[in-house]
Structure 1
């Protein structure tokens, strides 16, 4: 294709959508697109994201060189650059488009592109650094790591992979750190309060969960007003008398570990000074550590331990949640917070580097080498043996990623012993454990090499004369097999 003179018809790449794009939906879920934010969809195509966001009550407008070229785009708090970079065949123009979007950004630029694993769905021939499609359009498919690096190089700021193929570039580093804190060390919201008594109860609840009294600046505005007539010493005395000391101690331990986790991930992504931390984390550092230096040193040691295969495997063996195999630990998303801190750090580093997918059920952590996979079993809660829909893996050593879909496979992998992936006190663990015991007694696990896929499992059910009704194992009525 060398020497070909050709310009793609980019308007043909603008598809109609009945719902928000993945990137716009992610920004809404993360709270970055909210009622107070002005949103610009730069390269808005047919305008479906703009209409969808407006229907949700958000302030959104769009600009597109073909569909909405009649006015110059105005700067906005949040700028969406959705599936634009991948359709520009000229590398200089591609970079200029990103630069223009960054100039228009006042707080957050959200960049998303098609990814390399879409190659099988893009028909065409190689042209420059992409594909000239059969429709006369162009596609440059990015890897998640390439996209993040490309946005970082162009904007000059450290970026975060919010999901595979979705990169957040914050104009202000304080905003980036607030987002990291929200994702890594979230705390439950405040209890509702409409009088002094309920406001005090909310402060007691916060103290028990966080291990320390909140500052006035941390409280919701209306709650602070309800408590304004109390002196700080009086409020402290009341809370101290009301709070459960054991819960306060447990909350302090949780906050300490969450702070270490945040600081370790922040170092992985680029650590700033103490003053750059969100206020609540600054207060946690003051309360639970002798100094910011000490907190950072402990976090650094934690990150260093992540490189030690022996230490990581020992942490997996000591974990009270998850299923440990000869190669990896598998944990359900509901049990993630109960893993040892170094394993939570392991997963968070992978998610910041390459993006955690929006839908997943289990996380797989390799104990030799550093690789994280997020496995999606859509029917985990309802199917006694859920089938694998997709797998997304990132190698932390190389930052290479891979994605595999099983949605159209005729013989999908499936799960057994579901209770082993959950915490022991999970509400569903007992039901799943009873099913496993019944299946063991029926002889269904005598040939483990046969039951890892749908066809093999159905064959073993037939051999044993059993069938499943929900999470109950029963005898088949149509079998004459003696038991």
Structure 2
């Protein structure tokens, strides 16, 4: 760079009492396994290294300021945690990413601070970033910029694991396997200690998946217990023990999940059949005439996302979610019950920009192909949940926007919260009773006024009502009484 630079980058390394968000995400995603070696490249003070060692991870850390004596070596997983954003020289920044990619034999995890954090970084413009008062540098990324930059430098497709965190896999099969785990639910195997319980576990699997498993899909203990039985004997025993109705329903569910996975895979780059996870390959063999036919059907599903009328119709027939003139809002507990094309809509957004770790309700926009995730930390406790933050992505530009709503302001809030859930959710009757009482009290006569805390409180006062948990009662002006319940 042409500008004079006099920064000690060590000042940007913060002390942590817990795992960083990127390390915690990689751990939750099953990428930091005991058998894998991990390198924290640019580890700062080494807090992630110490925490991961406490979790029995085989991890080393290197940092040019705090641990220059450690020689970085090839590792299965390399963590490049908030490093790119503190390097002021674009060429050095590129070399650092390239070196981290060279050191990773399985997975590179790249994280960077995003532009929505600009309010937290005070400084003057310097190069392509900011020079702070502490003489440190910050280049803040948009979610799309981070994704495109890492793809351009590494030459590999990336997957957004969370906002500001992307995964780059060395092996295409590993990338596809990671996407499969996010899209296709894993079958849960019953515990088995003898042949009879192993057979029960096998029957349960068939009722979950709609087909028998291959030997490599079974847990080792079950495979060993059933190894003495021929395939014909296994089929006969399953037919005797399994519920035909459950098998049919499971087959339909697995077929739709497979189409969903293949459509998401195409959105992020589709690979050959042999690279697919073994379970997905077996699903295709069981429920489709060929891989080509499965891909053709999934392609049609992906194309339907461009059809506004089709998406709108899917929203109208969805058994779960609250439909408004602009979007469908769905609680995370009900997300698996919306139509497949809408699940695809949400999954594509999550693969492109990363689904936040904390979210309660997803908002699927009718127009513009926009998906948002709203965080309402007290959804179940609060009769009208306050929205603490929103993270949204535009699927046309892949740009993401984050908004925080501090408690001291008049935060947006949700109404008629039973509508966000599926009809069979056990909390629906209680929430619905509150909504019916509020409708009778006239609280929804001015919907344009009740979208924020202040507006809602004004309408409660106008109607002479107040809330006691999930009960609506008459407002009392003195401190003596509880207020009378409105039935």
Q: TM-score, normalised by structure 2?
A: 0.96
What pairs with 1:39-438 in structure 2 (closer than 5 Å)? 39-438=38-437
Task: Check the 8 A contact 1:8/1:89 in 2, yes or no.
Answer: no
Task: Please state how far the C-alpha of 1:77 moved relative to its aligned partner.
Answer: 1.1
For 1:411-456, what per-residue CA distance to the aligned partner results, in whole angstroms no more than 9, with x for missing partners?
1011110000000001111111111112112222222222211112
- Farther off after superposition, 367-376 or 460-469: 460-469
Residue 329 of structure 1, CA deviation: 0.8
Query: Equivalents in 2 of 1:271, 1:137: separation in Å?
Result: 41
Cα deviation 1:216-269 (Å, max 9, x = unaligned): 110000111111122221111011111101100010011100100111111111
| Higher mean displacement: 99-108 or 447-456 | 447-456
Do the aligned partners of 2:314 and 2:339 also contact (CA within 8 Å) in 1? yes
Tell me the C-alpha RMSD between the 2 structures.
1.6
Separation of aligned partners in 1, 2:470 and 2:194: 47
Q: Does the 8 Å CA contact 1:309/1:369 hold for their aligned counterparts?
A: no
TM-fit CA distance, 1:408: 4.2
Q: Using the TM superposition, name which of 270-279 and 182-191 deviates more.
A: 182-191
Shift of 1:205: 0.8
How many residues are paired up?
482
Task: Give 2:445's aligned residue.
Answer: 446
Contact 2:392 2:401 in 1 (8 A): yes
Q: Does the CA-based 8 Å contact 1:39-1:59 persist in structure 2?
A: yes
CA distance in 2, matches of 1:187, 1:364: 25
Asked if 2 retains the 8 angstrom alpha-carbon contact of 1:204 and 1:243, the reply is yes
Kept after mapping to 2: 8 A contact 1:157/1:170 = yes
Looking at structure 1, the residues matched to 7 and 205 of structure 2 have their Cα atoms a distance apart, in angstroms, of: 57
Q: SS at the partner of 2:391?
A: strand
Within 1, Cα distance between the matches of 2:357 and 2:234? 41
Distance (Å, rounded) in 2 between the aligned partners of 1:36 and 1:368: 46
Q: Distance in 2 between matches of 1:227 and 1:252?
A: 23
* Mapped partners of 2:3, 2:104: distance in 1: 36
**What is the rounded CA distance, in whole Å, between the counterparts of 2:436 and 2:55 in structure 1?**
48
Kindly indicate whether the alpha-carbon contact (under 8 Å) linking 2:163 and 2:355 is maintained by their aligned counterparts in 1.
yes
Q: Which runs of 4+ in 1 moved over 6 A?
A: 479-483
Residue 461 of structure 1 corresponds to which residue in structure 2? 460
Instruction: Give the Cα separation in 2 of the matches to 1:188 and 1:62.
Output: 36
TM-score by length of 1: 0.97
Gaps of 5+ in 2: none
